[in-house]
Structure formats: C-alpha cells, structure tokens
Structure 1
Amino acid sequence: MTYRVVQWATGNLGRAAIEGIVSHPDLELVGVWVHSKEKVGKDAGELAQRPDLITGIKATNDIDTLIALQPDCILYSPLMPIEEEIVRFLQAGINVVTPLGWFYPKHLNTTAIEAACKQGNTTLHGTGIHPGGVTEKWPLIMSGFSRDVTYVSCEEYSDCRTYGAPDVLHEIMLFGKTPEQAKDSFMLQFLGAGFGQSVTMIADAMGFTLDGPLLATHEVALATAPIDTPMGIIEPGLIAAQRFRWQGLVNGEPVIKAETNWYMGTDNIETDWFDAKVIADRGECFAMTVDADPPVYITTHGIHPTRDMDWAEVQKRNPGMVATAMHCVNSIPVVCAAGPGIKTYLDLPIVVGKAKVN
C-alpha cells in the first residue's frame, strides 16, 4: 500500500524529509506547506535544494488546500508546534508524525489531541532523534541484553558550527550570550519538555520508581579567545559551550540521565566540565551506557558530521537533520497502520529503513 503524505515546512529537516518521502517505496508526496510567501508555488524538489528532483508538487501556505488533498499523513515539522493545527489534522482523518514532542506524553494534558484522534480515527506519533529516538530507544534496546540494570544514560556531543542557522544559534541556543542571559533562558525548560519524556519512558519501561521531579541543570563554558563561528565571532567571556542535563533519581541518586553537550569547536573554551581534549579525540557522537549485568557501552558516529566534510555543505544538509527526518519518514507506514490515539514507539512495530531502489 502507498500512503499519501504532506510535508509541513521546508527548513533543514523538511528539505531532507521531502527527499526521504520521494525515495520511500511505500510513500507518495502529495503536498508541501511553506511559511513564507516567497516559497509558494515552488516545486518540492526545488525547495529540497534538489534541482534534479522535479516532483510536480507545488508548495502552498493554505492549510485548507492541504487538508482537502485528504493525505494519509502529515509530517509536521515547523520550528515550533501549534497544537490547534495538529488537532485540526487529526479531526480531519489525517495521521500526524512530528519530531516536535509527544514522544511519551504521560504528564501532558492530551485531552484535545486524544479526542481529535478518536473523532478522526487517527494517530499522533512523536519521534525524532534526541529526544525521541536515540535518547531512549537505543538504551532500551541495549538493556535487552542485560539484567539488574542500575543506571542508564544517553549523551549527545555536537559541534554547533555545522548548524546553518545563525539566528537560532544566537537568539535561541544562546551562543555568544552572557552567562547572566543564560540564567534567564527558557531553554532548560523548553528542552526539558522533551527530554523529561525520554527519562520517564525509560523509567517506566525498566521499572524504576523515581523520587519525583527530574533534576535539571544547565552549565555554560565561556570563550577564552575570539572564536570564529557561522553566527560571527564569539568574544572572550561569552558562551561558547553548554551542557543541558536531566536526571531521574531514586533515593536521591541518579539512575537515568539524558544529556546534550553543545559547543563551538574545542579550542579557546574554558575548561571545567568541558573536557576539550576528550571531546576532540572522540569527536561528535552519541554515547550510551547501560550499567547492568553485563554492562553495555556504545559510542555511535555517522549521524554527526565528520571533520573532513565540507562545512558549507553540512550547514545545508546536516546528517543529524537527515537522520531525524528519516526517523519520521520511516515511521509513517506503521503510524498509518496503527489504531487511533497517541502512539509512542513502545506501542508500534519496529521502524526500519528501506533498500535503495535504482
């Protein structure tokens, strides 16, 4: 069966998603939503920055036009989610896959979404990479090879110089800001809305009874000399590296940790929690740990850019963004086949990629 799909938004992730949908043998791209008027009417292939890919699908910024297409699924990936839009899709009989939340919404108010799923006989699935994929899926899979688990963690190490969105780097991700500005940032709470779900999912799946609210911390490291970045020079004394951490505690001791480490290279950054040598030697990666009998430790590469890549090209098509997009795209067939409601990957069959079709 071929599922008809609309791609909602054409940023870094959306461009990769268009490629993925078009190449997936079980999917058909039938519509594309764009935010800016300048993109309206352009071919999806052009928006994906693939001039060789002529799809015949013209972009629109009219939600009614896309709903009228009666797609099986919308891959919903704007910069920020609008729940009212998601509810409208679900009510209209359109399944939704999104990397923007609802990975494991145990502690969220999902009354409106659940009602919409029931009305439209539809499914909402939150997925992605970190959180929503690597953070919890990989450690849980690894734990299946062990017994008596005592500690689980997943850490991300990402050089943000490869991220081609200067405004986001500075205004949202805080790079180049002062330590005082970081203290007033919404980022710990904003990111915690997703990573908290990851920690809760692991706790529930493995049987940990957590003490209560997660321990959330945000640490920064400052530039010690000017650092050249895609958003301009970061001057000494301004933020050049950050660590966000969420920990689930049992009897006051950490048993589950989700962590993300962002940095602008490894040179000229003050050393404290930021171990520049270790990070430089290991490179960008996800590092996962399951302390158990036997213990399992895995460091994964490939999703992050490598040092020999053309960084100008990476900023246009970051492998991490491609991986996030493809986790969404590859989820669409199993989501469309699922029953109504909010479904996590604990509720769904295994999601797999597809062989290349020549």
Structure 2
Amino acid sequence: MTSRVIQWATGGVGRAAIEHVVRHPDLELVGCWVHGPEKSGLDAGELAGMPAPLGVTATNDVAEILATDADCVLYAPLLPNADEVAAILRSGKNVVTPVGWFWTKDPALAAAAIEGGVSLHGTGIDPGGVTDHHPLFFAGLSSAVTFVRGEEYSDIRTYGAPDVVRYFMGFGGSPEEARSGSLLKLLSGGFEQSVQMCLDGLGFAETEIRRSHEIAVATGPIEGPAGTIRPGEVAAQRFAWEAFVGSDKVVRVAVNWFMGDENLDPPWTFGPAGERYEVEVHGDPGCSVVISGWTSSDVESGLRRNPGVVATAAHCVNSIPYVCAAAPGFVTFLDLPVVTGRAHPRLGR
C-alpha cells in the first residue's frame, strides 16, 4: 500500500528526503512546503536538484498543505515548532521528523495525534540513531550492561549551510558568545531524550544527567562554509550529555564538531580513525563499533552532498511506512519493528 508524503522544508535534509521518497516503492510525494516565497511555485524536483520535474509544486501556504490529502509529513525545518506539528497531526497526517520528539510525553502533541488518529515519530542519526538506536541495538548482544556510548566526530567544513554554521552553531564567533548562546540548550532538547531512551530502554536506576560544552579556537585562518575563521574565533566545539547512577557513568552521547583538525587551540584532532561515528557497550560481552561512510572523504564532496545529512533523511523516509501502520500517538524506535531501506528501483520487484 502506497503512503502519500508531504515534505516540509527543503534544507539539506528536505532535499535529500525528496530524492529518497521518489525512489521508495511504497511512497509517493504529493506535497512540499517551503519557508520562503522565493521557493513557492517551484517544482519539488527542481528544489531537490533532481534531473527532471516531479509534478509537485512547492507552496509556503500552510493551510494548503494541511488540506492536502496525504498520509505523512516529513517535518524537517531547522528548528521545531510544536504548534505546527500539532496542526499537522490534527489534520490527520502522521509526522516523521529529525528535529525532536524522539522520547517524549508532550501531552498537547499526544492529544493532537489521538485527535487526528495518527502518530508522531522522531528519528534520524544524531540524535535519533547513533545516540540511542544503535547503543540499544548493540546492547541487545550483551547482558549486565554497565555503560553505553554514541558519539560523532565530524568536520563542519563539509556542512554547506553558512548561516546555520555561523549564526546558529556559533563557528567564527567569540568563545564568550558561544558559551552564552542558546545552542547547548537547543541541542539538549534532542540529545537528552536520546540519553533518557537509553536509560529507560536498559532499565538503569534513577540518574543525574550532566551537560558539558568545550570550545577550541583557531590559531590561524581556517576556510569554511561560513567564510574565514580568524585566530581566536571559535573553530571547534564538543558537546556531551552524560548520565550517572551514583558515581557510575552509565550513558554518554556526544558530538565533536571541528573545522578541520589543524590550527586548533587546544590541539584537538580526529585521531588516526578520522571522521566517524562510534558506538560502545560495556557488558558481557562488550563491543566497540566504528561507523564510516556518513562523513565526507573531503570538504568539496561534502559540500556537494553531505552523507550524514543524506543518511538522516533516509532513516526518516524509511520509517514512514512503519509509522503510518502504527497505532495513534507517540511512536518511538522501541515501538517499531526493524526499519530498513528498500532495493534500488532497478533491482527491486
């Protein structure tokens, strides 16, 4: 049974999601919401950089989108808006999103989902994958688990969103601005849900969650998507969320975002493993997993098509048929069967 999908927002994740929906045999793109009037009226295929139009016209009219006959909205703006999501749910459309609601009990959104007879599912790769799905999956091959970790090491020079990098993420600003900004709080909304999913899924006792934010500055000029970062400006950041049972650290989720690993003070590096994602479990037996392929081999290719952004979109798209089949309400990773991809169209049934 084909699910009809609306793509909400056409940033990096949204553009990749349109490609994935078109290639998925169980999905049909029927709508596209865009933020700015300059994109309204354009074909969704054009916005996604596809070779041919798709016959789906983008609009910035929310009422038009809410009135569109669809089964699911892939909601991928830069920042989440609970009122928007509630309106989508009440209109009878499931929501899959990488921007929040991975592990939550928001009563207003729960009521909106029940009213619309649909579900809300938060997913992605970080948060929503490496930081919760994967630690829990690999912990399933252990017993007596004492610690799990999901961590990202990425070169932000490959992220082609200059305004986001400079004004939202704080690269190229002063350390004081980065420390006093809202990024840690905004990120915590998602990453602390990942921590809580690991805690609840594994059955750890009552815990304390601690946040940390470290900054490295440039020691020489660094070229990136937000222009030149000058000596003394923010060139690398580490964010971590760690849960403790007493003095025992039981969960760690973290991101390490560098503008390369040269000309940094402190002299942080990616190490010999390079850019990567890591998952670790301490138990009987324990394991350590390094994931490559979701980071770019070089800056130029990453700016053309960032694999981490594409993977985030793919996991959202692949979740849609399962979410559409789920009972109304919040649907988490732990509620769904194994979410998998589909064969390339030229190899499928």
Q: CA RMSD in A?
A: 1.2
Could you tell me which residue of structure 2 aligns to residue 336 of structure 1? 324
Q: Aligned equivalents of 2:131 and 2:340: distance in 1?
A: 17
Could you tell me which residue of structure 1 aligns to residue 36 of structure 2? 36
Give the C-alpha shift of residue 22 in structure 1.
0.6
Classify the secondary structure of the residue corresponding to 2:289.
strand
Matched, 1:288 2:279: yes
Matched, 1:207 2:213: no
Contact residue 119 and residue 328 of structure 2 kept, 8 A: yes
Match of 1:326 among 296, 299, 314: 314
| TM-score, length-scaled by structure 1 | 0.94
Could you tell me which residue of structure 1 aligns to residue 59 of structure 2? 60
Give the C-alpha shift of residue 148 in structure 1.
1.3
Give the C-alpha shift of residue 168 in structure 1.
1.1
Contact residue 153 and residue 275 of structure 2 kept, 8 A: yes
Give the C-alpha shift of residue 55 in structure 1.
0.8
Could you tell me which residue of structure 1 aligns to residue 135 of structure 2? 139
Moved over 2 A (4+): 311-314
Classify the secondary structure of the residue corresponding to 1:356.
coil
Contact residue 12 and residue 316 of structure 1 kept, 8 A: no
Could you tell me which residue of structure 1 aligns to residue 191 of structure 2? 195
1:89-128 paired onto structure 2 within 5 Å: 89-106=88-105, 110-128=106-124
Give 5+ residue unaligned stretches, structure 1: none
**Corresponding residue pairs, total:** 346
Give the C-alpha shift of residue 124 in structure 1.
0.5
| TM-score, length-scaled by structure 2 | 0.96
Give 5+ residue unaligned stretches, structure 2: none
Could you tell me which residue of structure 1 aligns to residue 68 of structure 2? 69
Contact residue 12 and residue 309 of structure 2 kept, 8 A: yes
- Once the two structures are superposed, residues 74-94 of structure 1 have per-residue CA deviations (whole angstroms, 9 ceiling, x without a partner) of 001111122111111111111
Give the C-alpha shift of residue 349 in structure 1.
1.2
Matched, 1:237 2:232: yes
- Among all aligned residue pairs of Structure 1 and Structure 2, give the percentage whose two residues are the same amino acid: 50
Q: Aligned equivalents of 1:172 and 1:68: distance in 2?
A: 32
- Once the two structures are superposed, residues 301-330 of structure 1 have per-residue CA deviations (whole angstroms, 9 ceiling, x without a partner) of 0011113xxx34422421111100011000
Q: Aligned equivalents of 1:183 and 1:58: distance in 2?
A: 42
1:72-91 paired onto structure 2 within 5 Å: 72-91=71-90
Letter in 2 for 1:224: T
Q: Aligned equivalents of 1:68 and 1:233: distance in 2?
A: 45
Classify the secondary structure of the residue corresponding to 2:77.
coil
Letter in 2 for 1:156: E
Could you tell me which residue of structure 2 aligns to residue 13 of structure 1? 13
Letter in 2 for 1:100: V
Give the C-alpha shift of residue 268 in structure 1.
0.8
Contact residue 210 and residue 248 of structure 1 kept, 8 A: no
Classify the secondary structure of the residue corresponding to 1:90.
helix
Letter in 2 for 1:54: P
Letter in 1 for 2:25: P
Matched, 1:348 2:336: yes
Q: Aligned equivalents of 1:48 and 1:313: distance in 2?
A: 17
Give the C-alpha shift of residue 286 in structure 1.
0.5
Give the C-alpha shift of residue 182 in structure 1.
1.9
Could you tell me which residue of structure 1 aligns to residue 216 of structure 2? 221
Q: Aligned equivalents of 1:287 and 1:352: distance in 2?
A: 20
Give the C-alpha shift of residue 260 in structure 1.
0.3
Q: Aligned equivalents of 2:55 and 2:301: distance in 1?
A: 26
Could you tell me which residue of structure 1 aligns to residue 48 of structure 2? 48
Q: Aligned equivalents of 1:116 and 1:138: distance in 2?
A: 30
Classify the secondary structure of the residue corresponding to 1:215.
strand
Q: Aligned equivalents of 2:60 and 2:223: distance in 1?
A: 37
Matched, 1:258 2:253: yes
Classify the secondary structure of the residue corresponding to 1:198.
helix
Letter in 2 for 1:159: D
Match of 1:186 among 157, 182, 186: 182
Q: Aligned equivalents of 1:64 and 1:339: distance in 2?
A: 26
Could you tell me which residue of structure 1 aligns to residue 290 of structure 2? 299
Letter in 2 for 1:216: R
Classify the secondary structure of the residue corresponding to 2:295.
coil
Q: Aligned equivalents of 2:57 and 2:158: distance in 1?
A: 30
Q: Aligned equivalents of 1:78 and 1:179: distance in 2?
A: 27
